[in-house]
Amino acid sequence: MIPVINIMVSGEIPPDPLDGVRTELTFRSPSVGTVHPMAVTPAERQVIARAPGIRSSTASSAETALRTQLQEPLSRRRAVLNWLTVAVSVYLLITAVGVIGSGFSLAAGDQAEALFGFAANPVIGLMIGIAATALTQSSSTTTSVTVGLVAGGLPLSIAIPIILGANIGTTLTNTLVSLAMVRDKEQFRRGFSAATVHDFFNLLAVAIFLPLEMAFGLLERAATAAAGLIDGSEAADTGLIETMLGGVGALIKGATAPAGELIGLVFSPLPDVWAGIAMIVFAIALILLVINMISRKLKAVLVGRAERILHASVGRNPLVAIGSGAAVTVMVQSSSTTTALMVPLAGSGKLSLRQIYPFTLGANIGTTITALIAAMAFDGQLGTIALTAALVHLFFNVFATLLIFGIPGLRELPLIGARWLSDLAVRRAPAAFAWVAVVFIAVPLGLIVLL
């Protein structure tokens, strides 16, 4: 038999990485036994390494340790750079929302309500929210822009249906992810039902709360009262919390004002109306860019931790799953990412539809953090108005979760709808594509045009 040679290296590894390293060869053979180590030169080692029948174990542990030592500082530097990018992106997000408010005030003047008169019909506002979010693939963008418009004069009664529509539009992403499984029927059945349970829950939530809002102003009243308590306008004694929040708001406003004024200065040569429109368009583009950047960078530094939370919590107590869904979404700044992570796990059979269901509800709650951050672009009375719009988004998702998931009969409806639609899609694959086209594109755009 051919002797097997194990090459073991001692000494420091230079950049080559093996030039100048003293090498010892130990010959082992079943028939001969073990021969004592023999020193070789680097040149001899290279010849031996090319020889057939020789197995090399050239200081793998030393090389691994060296690579680890070299990679750790690089990983730390990359993590620091990612966090700095996130911080700058959040700054730009707050600045852009402020620019939208200023631009809308400049363009609309006192005619904001008349300008959006076509959206006074709540159904139109709802469809605008669905279409805008489906097109941008980001409910955070839709809600952030809406917060800025409210601070600029858009009536809250028009903004609320748009915010509710954003909740429906954001479910498009995970539904599209599930369509990639269409060739495997069982995998597609599981994945598509996991995706559309989010669709059905948000549709049911809007079907319940939009009429309540139209009839009683439930969300507007709750958000207005909470915003008043937070900023102190509803309290006789503004206390420590209001003072702290007011100080933070003033600090953020002071930090972002120079950048906002610079953007306004760039467009100042234009007539007021066109300058305002240009500012809004520029700010929306900036929001799209920075929200995508925040999501990518947070995923780079936190996705591993987020996945560990996901695997540790899903399938346990539903309350734990809801809390974990919210936490993961806050970490990656994208409910679409959170829910899209679940679809492959459902398709593979690792998680059931009932296990995934509460996690998606937590994702709904977690995504509201972006609108709350956007509201920081304003202070004083405008800050209260912007915060009210952001709290509408939060309260809608919290109330919907408490009501629908808290009542056993209602809790089952999204599950029943998702199972029915996935069974239909397995039998007739075009039905899945028709669901996407009709719910997220044809109906919203058609109603906007017709109404």
Per-residue pLDDT tens over the stretch 167-226: 999 888 888 888 888 888 999 999 999 999 999 999 999 999 999 999 999 999 999 999
Q: Which pLDDT does position 93 carry in this prediction?
A: 80
CA distance 185 to 351: 17
Q: Mean pLDDT over residues 378-399, rounded?
A: 90
Cβ partners under 8 Å of residue 377, min gap 6? 94, 95, 97, 98, 101, 147, 148, 151, 252, 253, 256, 386
Q: Which pLDDT does position 53 carry in this prediction?
A: 47
Binning pLDDT at 50, 70 and 90, where does residue 166 land? very high
Q: Mean pLDDT over residues 14-32, rounded?
A: 46
In our burial notation (b when 16+ CB lie closer than 10 A, e otherwise), range 196-232 reads bbbbbbbbbbbeebbeebeeeebbbebbbebbeebbb
Binning pLDDT at 50, 70 and 90, where does residue 16 land? very low
Q: Which pLDDT does position 250 carry in this prediction?
A: 66
The answer to whether 181 and 349 have CB atoms below 8 angstroms apart is: no
Q: Which pLDDT does position 309 carry in this prediction?
A: 66
**For the chain, what percent of residues have pLDDT higher than 90?**
29
Q: Mean pLDDT over residues 285-301, rounded?
A: 76
Q: Is the pLDDT of residue 67 over 70?
A: no
Q: Which pLDDT does position 26 carry in this prediction?
A: 45
Binning pLDDT at 50, 70 and 90, where does residue 358 land? very high
What is the SS3 string spanning 16-70?
CCCCCCEEEEEEEECCCEECCCEEECHHHHHHHHCCCCCCCCCCHHHHHHHHHHH
Q: Is the pLDDT of residue 313 over 70?
A: no
The answer to whether 49 and 41 have CB atoms below 8 angstroms apart is: no
Q: Is the pLDDT of residue 48 over 50?
A: no
The HSE-up count of residue 156 (CA atoms within 13 Å, CB side) is 21
Residue type, 63: E
Q: Mean pLDDT over residues 360-365, rounded?
A: 92
CA distance 157 to 326: 27
Binning pLDDT at 50, 70 and 90, where does residue 422 land? very high
Beta bridge partners of 26: 6
- CA 235 to chain CA mean position, Å: 35
Q: Mean pLDDT over residues 391-412, rounded?
A: 95
Residue 4's H or E segment, with its range, is: strand 4-10
- Short-list 330, 294, 250, CA closest to 88: 294
Q: Is the pLDDT of residue 325 over 90?
A: no
Classified as helix, coil or strand, 7 is: strand
CA distance 19 to 16: 6
Q: pLDDT higher for 106 or 396?
A: 396
Q: Mean pLDDT over residues 268-279, rounded?
A: 87
Q: Is the pLDDT of residue 27 over 50?
A: no
* pLDDT tens digit sequence for 81-135: 887 887 888 888 888 888 888 888 887 766 666 667 777 889 999 999 999 888 8
CA distance 289 to 88: 12
Q: Mean pLDDT over residues 244-251, rounded?
A: 60
Q: Mean pLDDT over residues 349-354, rounded?
A: 85
Q: Which pLDDT does position 100 carry in this prediction?
A: 83
Binning pLDDT at 50, 70 and 90, where does residue 73 land? low
Number of helices (H), then strands (E), in the chain: 20, 4
Q: Which pLDDT does position 432 carry in this prediction?
A: 92
The answer to whether 198 and 174 have CB atoms below 8 angstroms apart is: yes
Q: Lowest mean pLDDT: which of 4-13, 123-132, 360-369? A: 4-13
Q: Mean pLDDT over residues 130-154, rounded?
A: 87
CA distance 199 to 196: 5
Q: Which whole-number Å values give the CA distances from 79 to 28, 290, 300, in the listed order? A: 46, 18, 8
Instruction: State the Cα angle at 53 between 52 and 56, rounded to 5°.
Output: 95
Binning pLDDT at 50, 70 and 90, where does residue 404 land? very high
Q: Which pLDDT does position 98 carry in this prediction?
A: 83
Q: pLDDT higher for 216 or 238?
A: 216
Q: Which pLDDT does position 239 carry in this prediction?
A: 46
Q: Which pLDDT does position 352 carry in this prediction?
A: 87
- CA 231 to chain CA mean position, Å: 28
Q: Is the pLDDT of residue 419 over 80?
A: yes
Q: Which pLDDT does position 29 carry in this prediction?
A: 45
Helix axis angle, 185-216 relative to 408-427, nearest 10°?
Answer: 140
CA distance 324 to 394: 16
The pTM score is 0.73
The HSE-up count of residue 324 (CA atoms within 13 Å, CB side) is 24
Q: Which pLDDT does position 436 carry in this prediction?
A: 92
